[in-house]
Amino acid sequence: MNSIMNSPVAKFALYATILALGILLPMWFPNYTGQMTVMWMMVVFALTWDILGGQMGYNSLGNIFFFGAGMYATGMVQVGMFYDLAEYNSAAGGGIFNFTFSQYFTGMAAGFVVAAIVCVILAVILGRLVFGLRGPYFAIGTLAIATVVGELVSTWELVGGGQGMSMPNYPGDLGEAKFVFYSMMFVLAICTFAFLRWLYGSRFGLAINAIRDDEEKAEGMGIHTLRYKTVAWSIAAFFLGIAGAIYGNFNNFFEPIDVAFPTTTFGIFMVLMVLLGGKGTLWGPVIGAILFHVIKEVTWTYLLNLQWVALGLLIVVTVVYFQEGIMGWIMRKKPTWFGIRVEGEKQRLGDMR
């Protein structure tokens, strides 16, 4: 089988190149470290959205909820471990209250763990509510969760209400902080990709694909559909929660509507990036996220005042004319590269991926 994607040498070269670029780029272009941090976050967004949206056929518009939940969870832990949360937030936090080096990092470690666990628990509970909904109703239901929670948190004074919350300041050089957060986000993106690559190769991948293709049939065959759907969402929530926790610290500040639960920006971007790259594929979300982020930043730089018009145009063109995405398009043109067999070809046993 002369399949490019299946050749081990090509695969190794690809992974090595990406890892090397991930490490070298922030050294070559230190001024863009912040941008590249956000880019890897976009990759996590797209990869986690695709678990449900691409592989399982459930278009969630509320995944961004877990991003915010992780952010708030880590914020509360990182501050609450050492100071009174209400007092900290009424004084508008950071700068006035100091965190030592060890306080900062132990708080962060604990905060990330709590953020991940809280998001998984929330996904399990909310899954019971929303997985009764199908198609557009699921999209609206999940969107409602993210929007409503954003509004509710705005009235929660303990975590700063609509004013938001300042995070502890990094106990050291700010240039160093950039690289620390970049590394965290890069490692998270790599871990998310590696985990999903393994997951889609297991029975789990087959089961959620079956749910996507025909959920009623899957039920009729005895597949534990609710169990698979809940776990799929929990996995997305887990990685999104950590992404939120890192971003909260990276941004040093967050508030409910625009940073923690931004349904109209990040919440929509994650859908668009997956569509652009090709949903239901492993590489599509990665390609879509990177391309989208670059396009977005270029239009922000060179088409200022028109950036939303350009972005809107990209959305319309993708959704109307290019739903299959980049990977979908390549797969249609060159199916044999991906091990998809077409009629008339001689085939052999056991070559699954």
Partner 1 sequence: MSSATTAGESIIEVNGITKTFGGVVANKNISLNVRKGGITGLIGPNGSGKTTLFNSIVGYHPIDGGSIKFSGEEISKFRVQEIARLGLMRTFQQTRIYGKMNCVENMLISVPHRKLGFWDMFASRDKETLERADRMLEFVGLYEKRWLLAGDLSFGQQKLLEFAMALMNEPTVLMLDEPTAGINPTLINGLIDRLKRANEEFGITLFVIEHNMRVIMNLAEHIYCLAHGEMLAEGKPEEIQNDQRVIDAYLGAH
Chain contacts with partner 1 (rule: CB under 8 A): 199, 201-204, 206-207, 209-210, 212-214, 216-225, 227-228, 231, 280, 340-343, 345, 347, 349-350, 352
Smaller CB separation from partner 1, 174 or 342: 342
DSSP labels, 41-101: HHHHHHHHHHIIIIII----S-THHHHHHHHHHHHHHHHHTTS-HHHHHHTT-BTTB---H
The C-alpha atoms of residue 320 and residue 304 are separated, in whole angstroms, by: 25
Cβ 37 to partner 1 shortest distance, Å: 31
Question: What's the distance, CA 335 to chain centroid?
Answer: 28
Query: 332-351 as b/e, with b when 16 or more CB fall inside 10 Å?
Result: eeeebebeeeeeeeeeeeee
Cβ 162 to partner 1 shortest distance, Å: 41
Smaller CB separation from partner 1, 157 or 203: 203
Smaller CB separation from partner 1, 24 or 340: 340
49 contacts: CB under 8 Å, gap ≥ 6:
60, 63, 236, 270, 271, 273, 274, 285
Strand 165-166 relative to strand 253-254: parallel, antiparallel, unpaired? antiparallel
Cβ 287 to partner 1 shortest distance, Å: 20
The C-alpha atoms of residue 51 and residue 58 are separated, in whole angstroms, by: 9
Three-state DSSP state, 222: coil
Cβ 190 to partner 1 shortest distance, Å: 20
Task: Kindly list the distances between the CA atom of residue 108 and the CA atoms of 193, 250, 254, in Å, as whole numbers in the listed order.
Answer: 23, 12, 16
Q: How many helices (H) and strands (E) does the chain have?
A: 14, 2
Smaller CB separation from partner 1, 168 or 328: 328
Cβ 76 to partner 1 shortest distance, Å: 31
Smaller CB separation from partner 1, 191 or 313: 191
Cβ 304 to partner 1 shortest distance, Å: 42
Cβ 60 to partner 1 shortest distance, Å: 20
Backbone angles phi, psi at 254, to 5 degrees: -150, 155
Smaller CB separation from partner 1, 39 or 231: 231
The C-alpha atoms of residue 61 and residue 139 are separated, in whole angstroms, by: 5
The C-alpha atoms of residue 165 and residue 195 are separated, in whole angstroms, by: 32
Cβ 285 to partner 1 shortest distance, Å: 17
Smaller CB separation from partner 1, 83 or 204: 204
Smaller CB separation from partner 1, 212 or 293: 212
